[in-house]
């Protein structure tokens, strides 16, 4: 179809053609009739045109309307589009924002996975999905951790609260503490009288412990070990440190200065000094006393210089009766600094310390310096002063650990050198051995039993000094129920002035004297038979010297020289020797009984023999005699021993003859472990029975020119047999629990033996002895019923 | 003794019980008596019998060796460990004798338990210590046990001790002097008593044999010496040693006991010592007393050697007399009271006694060796 625009352009072209034709006609003015036609045509064309125009316009309007209608949805859609675009951009932005989001979790220090699985509750552990899903796992971990942390936080809070509380209480207490010393001081002061009253010397002990720091190492060990014993075993002992603190401190200071040039311990000492003043007045008094007693000893200050502090050990009886402790003894320990040894002495008992502590253990007289080092430092000539109250016993050294401390200097310094370590270990080893050996317990036991034995002994001796036999508690022995016929006629101690010397120093003539003047039964024999016999005993050896067979003729010139000097010496000695012998009232002609005390003096005589005899003859007479008659006792066993002289008197009921038995009783310092040693002699001798005159023709010769010893009722062998019973047989019969009354037991045993022997010998002298072979002789008389009373080569009594 | 092991005894590891035991042992040792000490046939050893019942052999050579080491008289008291100990007698061992010569010798010991123990010397010399244990020979080669007497109502009396033994090696006899007052003659071959000598009224102290006349001489506590005929067991003579008189029967009243008897090598002289402090010398031809010597102490052992009467007693001296009673010498000896003396033709004599001491003395009176038995 033709579009209006086509129709319009066709119409316009038609009009243009008609008008072109009119114009042409007009111009040529030709036919006007044609013009009219042409005009009408033109008008129709115009009409057409108008119509087309309208249509166009209409059409246009229509289009416009249509467009208008179409425009609305377009607008809506555009809007929608814009919205979406906006939305999109928003999302993109959000995404990018999300993408840019930074999580905190990598910074969190989470518990490692393994640990989480370990600690987390079971539900997580069983959940296998969790392991596959790391995110979930992470979440769970986080959650769990959060939970845990929260818990911890709670706990922390709790703790914080507690801490705060504690801090508060601490502060309060500190406050209290700061005020406490003053409180305590007042309390202490207030309690002092009470302590005194109740005997709880707490304050004192504290002081003592404090003082212990100032002790030299040996005494420190002693102190600590003893106090440990006291505390660990609840032993009935007390310890005390006595001495001047100031001196001790000065000593420590001096030592410290010497050791390092620096005053290490300065602070410590100041501290100590601060606390001293209150104690000072008390000490001042004490020190004065100590100084006084020290003044006497200070003459020999060099060697005997002792540490200002001493330890006193009070020993009480084990058995507490009625809350009251009976004190047995106090032992004082002091430390001699130059000799590095510890001395012990019995406190307060100045005249008999030796007796009590000497030979507490075998060979420990306290007379000799115990360590080689001490001997060296004291010099060869040095002899320990026997009159000092304290003696360096070996057991004291062992108690103080000197045996393992010896390498350590007298006062241990504060230094920390490399050697210090080894020293410390050696001390530690030493101490452990010390404890294993039960040294302290052993010494305590020994001291207690020793002291008890001494008390028991003293009681027995007191009874004896009244010439009564002490009572025996234990009567389960053969002589227990026996009532002796003989009685104790006298009892006296044989005193030795001065203390026993070591055997080497014979230079001071010992004087022996008898205390008892009441012993009228003892007669001083005017003729010194002993000596005459002794000299006689030398005869063979002197004669031997002249025999050609003597094996050492070469020595003769030498011997003569020596003999001369010895003789001279022996003359000088003879005077005290004989004096001593005469004073020694037990002498008689029975030379076989010599006494130990004299034995020591006999050295002079020994020397003569020593040079006079051939080497083979060395076992010279006196020596042999000594060692046969008596228990071989060397010097240490003798130390601190006391000798007593007892006379038993028996009476023959028929003839009224008096028979005296003398017993020399030696009580050793080790009593009763080493029981008293008896030496017997029959004192009153019978008149020598004259031998019956022999038939004619028999030549009668008497062996000696000098008086024969009168025969005694009791033979030598009888006395020895009695000695044997009393000295050694008794030990098995007496239980250890009654050990302390051994002297009493021995005496009553001796009384019984004496009775028995006298009876037996009297009977055998005076009466016809029963024939023994009952069956053989066939005769029966009363005597046959009695059992044989003697037996054997040496005619020993049969004792049941 | 004490000084040797004093290291052990101090507060460190103190053992009081052990110390007491040791003290007791020391005391017992110091009271020991050596009742007999005789030279063994081979002369290298001294055999001892002591109061604790032990019979021991000591080597003379080692005595001499240790003796010369120590010249200090104070410490020269030598303590000897026995070379060999034999099984112990229960109670004291009172005597020991060697029977026979050289290789065939037998060591015989007797004691308080009434037994004679015999060891063949050959075995000891050859070192046959097959039953050696606990430091001593356990079993003697033979034991001759004393018979027990029957008392009232047939009860057995206590076992009598044997105080002395004597030997007659020609006949093979051993004589024992017992506590029951009997002396026995044992046939060593058959180990049987073949003769019993009874007649003494108290126990016997000593015995010696006189082989040439087949006689035995016994000394008793009853104060008499009896001379017996071995073959008939009859008493030939009774001698009162104290009065020095021959008697016909045991005298009434108590006489001092006869402690020792000895004859000389010619078997013509008898010497006996009594508790009355005298020695009497008898001629065995007529049984008459010849000399009586009053001694200083009770003679406890006597012997005649080389025409010297040697005696020891309750004093530490060895006295030698001639037959006339003149003193030849007096020698100081180690034991304070000696209970045994044995003299040998070489001039050596051995004494022993209290304190466990044995003293070997040379012909000239010097001490060859002195030791204390351990």
Q: Which of A362, A544, A619 sits opposite B73 (nearest CB)?
A: A619
At residue A191, the pLDDT reads 80
CB atoms within 10 A of CB A613: 26
Query: CA A4 to CA B323: how far, in whole Å?
Result: 213
Name residue, tokens 């050893």: B45
Across the interface, which of A363, A549, A628 has its CB nearest the CB of B336?
A: A628
pLDDT of res. A561: 40
- Does B80 contact A at CB distance below 8 Å? no
Between A362, A619, A632, which is nearest B30 by CB? Answer: A632
Give the distance from residue A538's alpha carbon to the nearest chain B alpha carbon, in angstroms.
8
Digit-by-digit pLDDT tens for chain B (374 residues) are: 333 444 456 777 778 888 888 888 888 888 888 999 998 887 788 899 988 888 888 888 887 776 654 444 444 567 778 888 887 888 889 999 998 877 788 999 999 888 999 988 888 777 766 666 666 676 788 888 888 877 777 788 788 899 999 998 888 899 999 988 889 999 988 888 998 998 888 889 999 999 998 899 999 988 899 999 988 889 999 998 888 888 887 777 778 889 999 999 898 999 999 888 889 999 988 888 888 888 888 889 999 988 899 999 888 888 899 988 888 888 888 888 899 999 988 888 999 988 888 888 888 888 888 888 87
Contact check, Cβ <8 Å, A699/B365: no
A272 Cβ neighbours under 8 A, 6+ residues apart: A210, A213, A245, A249
Where b means 16+ CB within 10 Å and e means fewer, A517-548 reads eebeebeeeeeebbbebbebbbebbeebbeee
Whether A774 sits inside 8 A of B152 (CB atoms) is yes
Say which residue the tokens 């410390």 belong to: A424
| pLDDT for the residue numbered A256 | 75
Which tens digit of pLDDT belongs to each residue from B52-80? 888 888 888 887 776 654 444 444 567 77
Instruction: Write out chain B residues lying below 8 Å of A711, CB-based.
Output: 276-277, 298
Sheet of B78-80: strand order equals B78-80, B367-373, B357-361, B349-353, B338-343
Q: Give, to the nearest 10 degrees, the angle between helix A603-612 and helix A621-629.
A: 130
CA atoms of A691 and A288, how far apart (whole Å): 77
- A29 Cα distance to chain centroid: 175
**For A723, which residue in chain B has the nearest alpha carbon?**
B31
Task: Evaluate the CA torsion angle B169, B171, B172, B177 in order and state its sign.
Answer: negative
**Residues of chain A scoring pLDDT < 70:** 1, 105-106, 199-202, 259-302, 319-324, 348-355, 405-423, 496-635, 684-691, 703-712, 763-788, 798-800
Contact status of B2 with chain A (Cβ, < 8 Å):
yes
Name every chain A residue with its beta carbon within 8 A of the beta carbon of B222: 769
pTM of the model: 0.63
Which residue on chain B is closest to A674 by alpha carbon? B23
Please report residues of B whose CB lies closer than 8 A to that of A446.
11, 14
- Condensed to tens digits (0 to 9), the pLDDT of residues A556-612 reads 333 344 433 334 443 433 334 333 333 333 333 333 333 333 333 344 343 333 333
CB contact under 8 A, B9 and A692: no
CB < 8 Å to B149, chain A: 773-776
Q: Which of A395, A592, A793 sits opposite B339 (nearest CB)?
A: A793
| Of residues A23, B296, B104, B88, the one with CA closest to residue B96 | B88
Does any CB of chain A come closer than 8 Å to the CB of residue B3? Answer: yes
Q: What is the per-residue pLDDT for A770?
A: 42
Minimum-distance CB partner of B2 among A621, A637, A794: A637
What tokens were used for A696? 């004619």
Task: Pick the closest to residue B162 from A627, A793, A183 (CA basis).
Answer: A793
Q: Are the C-beta atoms of A645 and A490 separated by less than 8 Å?
A: yes
**pLDDT value for A519:** 36
Size of interface A-B (CB pairs under 8 A): 305
């Amino acid at each position: 179809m033709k579009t209006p625009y086509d129709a319009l352009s066709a119409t316009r072209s038609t009009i243009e053609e008609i008008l072109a034709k009119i114009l042409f006609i007009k111009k040529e003015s030709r036919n006007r009739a044609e013009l009219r036609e042409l005009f009408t045509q033109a008008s129709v064309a115009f009409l057409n045109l108008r119509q087309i125009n309208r249509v166009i316009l209409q059409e246009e309007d229509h289009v416009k309307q249509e467009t208008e209608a179409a425009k609305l949805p377009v607008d809506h859609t555009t809007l929608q589009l814009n919205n979406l675009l906006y939305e999109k951009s928003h999302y993109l932005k959000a995404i990018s924002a999300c993408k840019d989001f930074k999580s905190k979790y990598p910074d969190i220090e989470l518990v490692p996975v393994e640990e989480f699985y370990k600690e987390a509750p079971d539900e997580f552990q069983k959940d296998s999905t969790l392991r596959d899903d790391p995110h979930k796992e992470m979440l769970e971990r986080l959650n769990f951790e959060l939970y845990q942390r929260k818990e911890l936080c709670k706990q922390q809070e709790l703790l914080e609260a507690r801490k705060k509380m504690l801090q508060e209480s601490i502060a309060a207490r500190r406050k209290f503490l700061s005020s406490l010393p003053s409180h305590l001081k007042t309390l202490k002061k207030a309690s002092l009288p009470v302590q005194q009253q109740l005997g709880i010397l707490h304050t004192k002990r504290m002081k003592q412990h404090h003082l212990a720091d100032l002790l030299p190492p040996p005494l420190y060990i002693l102190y600590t070990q003893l106090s440990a014993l006291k505390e660990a075993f609840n032993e009935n002992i007390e310890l005390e440190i006595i001495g001047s603190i100031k001196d001790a401190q000065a000593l420590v200071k001096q030592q410290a200065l010497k050791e390092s040039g620096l005053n290490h311990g300065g602070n410590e000492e100041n501290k100590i000094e601060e606390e001293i003043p209150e104690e000072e007045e008390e000490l001042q008094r004490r020190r004065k006393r100590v100084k006084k007693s020290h003044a006497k000893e200070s003459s020999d200050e060099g060697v005997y210089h002792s540490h200002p502090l001493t330890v006193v050990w009070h020993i009480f009886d084990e058995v507490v009766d009625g809350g009251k402790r009976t004190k047995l003894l106090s032992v004082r320990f002091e430390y001699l600094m130059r000799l590095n040894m510890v001395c012990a002495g019995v406190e307060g008992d100045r005249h008999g310390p030796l007796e009590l502590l000497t030979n507490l253990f075998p060979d420990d007289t306290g007379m000799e310096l115990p360590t080689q080092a001490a001997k060296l430092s004291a010099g060869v000539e040095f002899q320990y002063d026997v009159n000092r109250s304290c003696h360096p016993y070996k057991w004291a050294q062992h108690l103080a650990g000197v045996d393992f401390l010896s390498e350590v200097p007298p006062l241990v310094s504060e230094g920390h050198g490399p050697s210090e370590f080894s020293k410390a270990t050696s001390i530690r080893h030493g101490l452990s051995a010390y404890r294993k050996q039960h040294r302290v317990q052993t010494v305590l036991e020994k001291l207690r039993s020793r002291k008890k034995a001494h008390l028991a002994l003293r009681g027995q001796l007191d009874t004896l000094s009244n010439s009564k036999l002490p009572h025996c508690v234990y009567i389960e022995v053969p002589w227990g129920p026996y009532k002796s016929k003989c009685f104790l006629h006298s009892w006296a101690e044989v005193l030795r002035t001065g203390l026993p010397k070591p055997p080497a120093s014979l230079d001071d003539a010992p004087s022996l004297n008898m205390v008892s003047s009441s012993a009228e039964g003892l007669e001083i024999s005017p003729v010194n038979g002993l000596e005459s016999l002794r000299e006689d005993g030398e005869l063979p050896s002197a004669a031997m010297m002249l025999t050609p067979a003597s094996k050492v003729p070469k020595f003769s010139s030498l011997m003569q020289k020596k003999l001369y000097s010895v003789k001279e010496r022996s003359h000088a000695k003879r005077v005290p020797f004989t004096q001593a012998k005469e004073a020694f009232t037990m002498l008689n002609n029975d030379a076989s009984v010599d006494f130990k005390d004299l034995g020591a003096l006999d050295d002079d005589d020994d020397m003569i023999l020593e040079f006079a005899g051939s080497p083979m003859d060395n076992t010279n007479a006196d020596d042999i005699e000594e060692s046969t008659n008596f228990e071989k006792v060397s010097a240490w066993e003798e130390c601190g021993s006391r000798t007593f002289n007892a006379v038993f008197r028996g009476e023959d009921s028929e003839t009224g003859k008096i028979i005296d038995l003398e017993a020399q009783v030696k009580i050793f310092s080790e009593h009763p472990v080493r029981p008293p040693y008896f030496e017997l002699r029959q004192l009153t001798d019978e008149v020598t029975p004259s031998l019956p005159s022999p038939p004619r023709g028999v030549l009668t010769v008497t062996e000696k020119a000098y008086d024969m010893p009168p025969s005694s009722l009791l033979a030598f062998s009888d006395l020895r047999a009695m000695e044997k019973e009393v000295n050694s047989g008794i030990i098995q019969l007496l239980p250890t629990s009654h050990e302390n009354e051994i002297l009493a037991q021995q005496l009553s045993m001796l009384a019984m033996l004496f009775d028995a022997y006298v009876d037996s010998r009297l009977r055998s002298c005076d009466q016809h002895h029963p024939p023994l072979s009952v069956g053989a002789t066939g005769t029966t008389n009363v005597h046959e019923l009695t059992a044989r009373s003697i037996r054997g080569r040496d005619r020993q009594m049969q004792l049941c | 003794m004490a000084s040797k092991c004093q290291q052990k005894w101090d507060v460190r590891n103190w053992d009081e019980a052990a110390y007491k035991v040791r003290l007791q042992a020391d005391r017992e040792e110091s009271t020991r008596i050596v009742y007999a000490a005789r030279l063994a046939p081979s002369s290298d050893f001294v055999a001892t019998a002591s109061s604790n019942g032990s019979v021991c052999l000591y080597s003379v050579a080692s005595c001499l060796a240790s003796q010369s080491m120590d010249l200090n008289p104070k410490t020269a008291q030598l303590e000897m460990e026995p070379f060999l100990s034999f099984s112990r007698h229960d109670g004291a061992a009172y005597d020991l004798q060697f029977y026979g010569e050289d290789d065939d010798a037998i060591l015989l010991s007797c004691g308080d338990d009434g037994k004679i123990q015999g060891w063949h010397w050959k075995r000891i010399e050859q070192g046959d210590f097959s039953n050696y244990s606990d430091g001593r020979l356990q079993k003697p080669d033979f034991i001759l046990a004393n018979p027990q007497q029957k008392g009232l109502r047939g009860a057995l009396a206590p076992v009598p001790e044997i105080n002395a033994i004597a030997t007659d090696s020609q006949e093979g006899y051993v004589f024992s002097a017992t506590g029951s007052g009997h002396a026995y003659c044992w046939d060593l071959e058959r180990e049987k008593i073949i003769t019993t000598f009874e007649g003494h009224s108290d126990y016997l102290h000593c015995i010696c044999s006189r082989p040439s006349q087949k006689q035995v001489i016994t000394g008793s506590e009853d104060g008499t010496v009896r001379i017996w005929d071995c073959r008939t067991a009859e008493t030939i003579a009774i001698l009162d040693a104290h009065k020095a008189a021959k008697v016909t029967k045991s005298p009434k009243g108590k006489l001092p006991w006869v402690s020792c008897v000895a004859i000389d090598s010619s078997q013509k002289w008898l010497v006996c010592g009594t508790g009355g402090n005298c020695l009497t010398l008898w001629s065995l031809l007529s049984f008459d007393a010849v000399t009586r010597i009053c001694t200083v102490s009770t003679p406890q052992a006597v012997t005649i050697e080389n025409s010297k009467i040697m005696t020891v007693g309750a004093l530490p001296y060895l006295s030698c007399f001639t037959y006339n009673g003149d003193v030849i010498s007096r020698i100081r000896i180690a034991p304070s009271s000696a209970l045994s003396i044995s003299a040998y033709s070489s001039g050596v004599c051995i004494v022993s006694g209290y304190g466990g001491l044995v003293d070997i003395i040379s012909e000239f009176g010097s001490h060859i060796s002195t030791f204390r038995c351990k």
